[in-house]
């Protein structure tokens, strides 16, 4: 079946209008403002961590805030930003863990032992008529060993380290975006 360009535009327009009415119907519901903690932000599928905050000490009376003070409070107490910061720290730790696979591994094994020698068991009871005690000791032995192992080339570890570095970079960008979002939201609400 061959469609002309005009019929294709009609079908496309009908599809957009059908999809748009479902979207606009969903957006016309009554919701509270985004300032209510724990409330879903319009356009998201659930509760956003940026809608909540970490509790702070209540201040009696009315607190006059400058824009800078409001932004500072938002950056210190916004839950989404704090979670994003913890993701950056977790990515940094993962990167260090992957880097450790490329470094030499050192193992130390100390050993301490006390022992006695039973001379009677060996058949030594006297030497030139002089009686030898049946046991000698205790003797202490100390042994310390260290070993170093290094893999010369491990492509899997190299790729894992690169991936961890990219994840850290990505988490850093996500944190910057989250910070900008909080500053924008506080500035808009101010």
User: What pLDDT was estimated at residue 164?
Assistant: 96
d(CA 94, CA 173): 17
Please tell me whether residues 109 and 188 are part of one structural domain.
Answer: no
Residue 110 lies in a domain: yes
User: What pLDDT was estimated at residue 44?
Assistant: 53
Residue 39 lies in a domain: no
Query: Can you give the residue range of the structural domain that contains 130?
Result: 105-149
Residue 181 lies in a domain: yes
- First vs last Cα of the chain: how many Å apart? 58
Token digits for 3?
């469609």
Please tell me whether residues 90 and 156 are part of one structural domain.
Answer: yes
Residue % of the chain over a pLDDT of 70: 76
Helices 67-77 and 79-100: crossing angle, nearest 10°?
50
Please tell me whether residues 92 and 73 are part of one structural domain.
Answer: yes
Residue 74 lies in a domain: yes
pLDDT digits (tens, 9 = 90+) for 125-157: 888 888 888 888 888 888 999 999 999 999 999
Residue 21 lies in a domain: no
pLDDT digits (tens, 9 = 90+) for 14-41: 444 444 444 444 444 444 444 444 455 4
Measured CA angle at 134 (ends 133, 140), to 5 deg? 90
Mean pLDDT score of the chain: 79
Residue 5 lies in a domain: no
User: What pLDDT was estimated at residue 16?
Assistant: 44
pLDDT digits (tens, 9 = 90+) for 57-77: 888 888 888 999 989 988 999
178 touches 81 (CB < 8 A)? yes
8 touches 23 (CB < 8 A)? no
User: What pLDDT was estimated at residue 8?
Assistant: 47
Please tell me whether residues 71 and 99 are part of one structural domain.
Answer: yes
- CA distances for 59 relative to 36, 56, 88, 110, 160, angstroms: 19, 9, 32, 59, 49
Number of domains observed in the structure of the chain? 2
């Amino acid at each position: 079946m061959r469609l002309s360009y005009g019929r294709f535009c009609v079908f496309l327009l009908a599809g957009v209008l059908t999809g748009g009415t479902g979207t606009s119907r969903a957006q016309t519901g009554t919701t509270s403002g985004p300032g209510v903690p724990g409330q879903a932000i319009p356009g998201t599928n659930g509760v956003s961590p940026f809608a909540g905050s970490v509790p702070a000490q209540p201040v009696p009376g009315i607190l006059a805030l400058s824009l800078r003070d409001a932004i500072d409070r938002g950056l210190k107490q916004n839950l989404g930003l704090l979670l994003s910061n913890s993701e950056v720290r977790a990515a940094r730790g993962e990167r260090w863990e992957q880097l450790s696979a490329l470094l030499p591994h050192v193992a130390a094994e100390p050993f301490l032992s006390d022992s006695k020698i039973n001379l009677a068991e060996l058949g030594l009871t006297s030497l030139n008529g002089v009686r030898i005690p049946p046991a000698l000791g205790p003797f202490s032995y100390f042994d310390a060993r260290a070993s170093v192992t290094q893999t010369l080339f491990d492509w899997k570890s190299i790729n894992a380290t690169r991936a961890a570095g990219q994840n850290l970079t990505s988490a850093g960008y996500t944190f910057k975006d989250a910070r900008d979002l909080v500053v924008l939201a506080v500035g808009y609400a101010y």
